[in-house]
């Protein structure tokens, strides 16, 4: 039996004394720390680490409950050091931690008084969450708890797994009774572990709370116990417009951030893994995002108004593997030099960038994150109307940096080599808050539209593969082998005209790839062949298109779905036909 014979009312009275006392704050003040901190460390840790493949391994490998329980009973993280975990987060520049209190397998990674499927059935004598909460409090690190709504172990939860109960996986049970149990576990977390920064729900896609109409009840329950604890969107249907404090795009960066149904920006946090295949410990993993990828992703997320919650999956012994540690420390080194361009900043004022990089804002300071150092030393910041009072490099404040105006644009003149090839930050002190003219691609002196990868955004969703990269003087979209990853530009034609459309790309291998370019209502389809290498760029004609005067959206689409030798997309050229 999962639930112990302990009165929930008695438990509530017993725990009341441990409840943190903090007066309720207005919404804007409650979320203020989240707006400022920008970067957190996610931790997925549980019984699944014993198997070392995936946090969904019981479901994916169809492991019977009794067999899975053997792994739970031998889970013994003898090398777990809560102080070391918090120190690692601080060294990375993270300002809050979120750890799984219970994942979908139903096992609680703490000592629960309302469940017998928790740390008390393991050989480990302590409470990892208690140790982590104590360490976080000592080291002034905010701590939040992930908690799965879905529960594969609890006898009352429905639906069960169809592979385990093929004839009656939806039958029986009592989800109302299960939600009562879930509330008591939330009460334990909110009264026994100090101030809780956030409750990070997951597993909402089975609609348990929505169908019972108890989601608002859970929201109010948390607010009553710890009124300043943040609540993510997965308590409800995962889309903007619900009562939650922030949205949670998973494994992708939204092209333009997140907005409410009325078009206003909302708080959001991209949760992303360092490795590519799982959230929990995976001893078979061979592919990891690079330090460069992760630093640029943090910058991109913050430039779009979001936070980054970067995940690690500790080993079953409680240690964190070197591949995670080295990358987190690399982020920390970059943050120690450039952190003022991340913490307590707001989103970029630019809808599109005229250079390969990003921008963030803090009052009258505009931070330009330069990913591709200009070969001629001239960085064009298109559409910046402000007067620039001062310019400096955060990594080398003594190095000369000057600015001048060219029409609607500001030219930043840089000297020498990039201080950091991953991202060098130029701080511009302006005469006020940034005032910009939205950037759109317009024809050059020859009447051509040159749509470089630097000025696109990538429309995408869960499972994003495509990203921008630069090498040997080229900026391009790489890992472009997923149809849902769509580079997008906006162009503005001064007059109607007919144009020949060319793709600038590189592709290793001999096999051709199908691609398409959508320009307004027109769709041009074609194939591109190997160019001799992934950094050997060529042009391929796709056809002709008629443009109307005014603005038009241009989208590049790959028909390749996975596989080797994807196209690296440098851009699209529209040449006028005379």
For the chain, what percent of residues have pLDDT higher than 70?
96
Residue 19: pLDDT band with limits 50, 70, 90: low
Whole-number Å distance between alpha carbons of 185 and 189: 6
Q: E-strand spans in 157-217?
A: 198-202
Closest residue by Cα to residue 206 from 166, 241, 180, 179: 179
pLDDT at 565 over 50: yes
Pull the structure tokens for residue 56.
């969904």
- pLDDT for position 195: 97
**Structure letter (DSSP) for residue 112:** -
Note whether 449 and 499 are within 8 A (CB): yes
Note whether 88 and 137 are within 8 A (CB): no
pLDDT at 359 over 80: yes
Whole-number Å distance between alpha carbons of 46 and 58: 12
H helices of 174-248, where? 175-192, 208-212, 215-225
Note whether 251 and 462 are within 8 A (CB): yes
Higher pLDDT, 324 or 5: 324
pTM for the whole thing? 0.95
- 357-362/365-370 β-pairing: antiparallel
pLDDT tens by residue, 56-98: 999 999 999 999 999 999 999 999 999 999 999 999 999 999 9
End-to-end CA distance of the chain: 80
pLDDT tens by residue, 470-483: 999 999 999 999 99
pLDDT at 6 over 50: no
pLDDT tens by residue, 361-399: 999 999 999 999 999 999 999 999 999 999 999 999 999
Whole-number Å distance between alpha carbons of 108 and 96: 21
């Amino acid at each position: 039996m999962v639930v112990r014979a302990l009165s929930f009312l008695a438990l509530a009275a017993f725990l009341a004394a441990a409840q943190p006392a903090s007066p309720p704050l207005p919404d804007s003040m409650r979320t203020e720390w989240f707006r400022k901190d920008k970067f957190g460390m996610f931790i997925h840790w549980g019984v699944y680490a014993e198997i070392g493949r995936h946090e969904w391994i019981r479901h994916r490998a169809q492991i019977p409950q009794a067999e899975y329980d053997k792994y739970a009973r031998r889970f013994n993280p003898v090398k777990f050091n809560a102080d070391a975990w918090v120190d690692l987060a601080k060294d990375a520049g993270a300002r809050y931690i979120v750890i799984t209190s219970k994942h979908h397998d139903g096992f609680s990674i703490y000592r629960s008084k309302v469940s017998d499927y928790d740390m008390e059935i393991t050989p480990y004598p302590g409470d990892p969450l208690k140790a982590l909460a104590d360490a976080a409090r000592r080291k002034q690190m905010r701590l939040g708890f992930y908690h799965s709504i879905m529960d594969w172990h609890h006898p009352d939860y429905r639906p069960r797994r169809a592979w385990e109960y093929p004839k009656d996986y939806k039958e029986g049970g009592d989800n109302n009774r299960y939600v009562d149990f879930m509330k008591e576990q939330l009460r334990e977390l909110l009264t026994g572990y100090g101030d809780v920064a956030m409750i990070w729900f997951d597993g909402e896609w089975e609609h348990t709370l929505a169908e019972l109409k108890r989601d608002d009840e859970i929201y109010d329950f948390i607010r009553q116990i710890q009124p300043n604890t943040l609540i993510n969107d997965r308590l409800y249907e995962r889309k903007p417009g619900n009562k939650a404090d922030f949205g949670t795009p998973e494994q992708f960066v939204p092209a333009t951030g997140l907005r409410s149904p009325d078009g206003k920006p909302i708080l959001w946090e991209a949760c992303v893994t360092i490795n590519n295949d799982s959230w929990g410990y995976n001893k078979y993993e061979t592919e990891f995002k690079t330090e460069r990828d992760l630093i640029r992703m943090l910058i991109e997320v913050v430039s779009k108004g979001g936070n980054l919650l970067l995940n690690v999956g500790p080993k079953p012994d409680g240690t964190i593997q070197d591949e995670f540690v080295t990358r987190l420390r690399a982020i920390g080194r970059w943050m120690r030099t450039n952190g003022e361009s991340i913490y307590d900043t707001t989103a970029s004022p630019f809808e599109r960038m005229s250079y390969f990089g990003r921008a963030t804002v803090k009052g009258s300071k505009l931070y330009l994150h330069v990913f591709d150092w200009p070969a001629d030393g001239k960085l064009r910041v298109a559409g910046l109307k402000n007067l620039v009072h001062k310019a400096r490099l955060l990594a080398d404040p003594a190095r000369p940096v000057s600015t001048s105006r060219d029409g609607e644009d500001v030219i930043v003149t840089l000297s020498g080599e990039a201080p950091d090839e991953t991202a060098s930050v130029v701080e511009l002190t302006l005469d006020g808050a940034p005032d910009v003219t939205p950037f759109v691609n317009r024809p050059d002196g020859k009447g051509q539209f040159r749509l470089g990868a630097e000025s696109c955004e990538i429309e995408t969703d869960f499972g994003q593969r495509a990203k921008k990269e630069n090498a040997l003087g080229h900026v391009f979209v790489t890992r472009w082998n997923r149809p849902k990853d769509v580079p997008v530009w906006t162009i503005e034609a001064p007059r109607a005209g007919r144009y020949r459309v060319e793709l600038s790309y590189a592709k290793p291998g001999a096999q051709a790839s199908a691609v398409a370019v959508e320009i307004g209502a027109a769709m041009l389809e074609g194939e591109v062949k190997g160019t001799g290498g992934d950094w050997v760029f060529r042009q391929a004609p796709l056809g002709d298109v008629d443009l109307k005067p005014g603005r038009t959206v241009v989208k590049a689409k790959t028909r390749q779905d996975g596989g080797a030798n994807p196209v690296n997309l440098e851009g699209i050229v529209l040449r006028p036909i005379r």
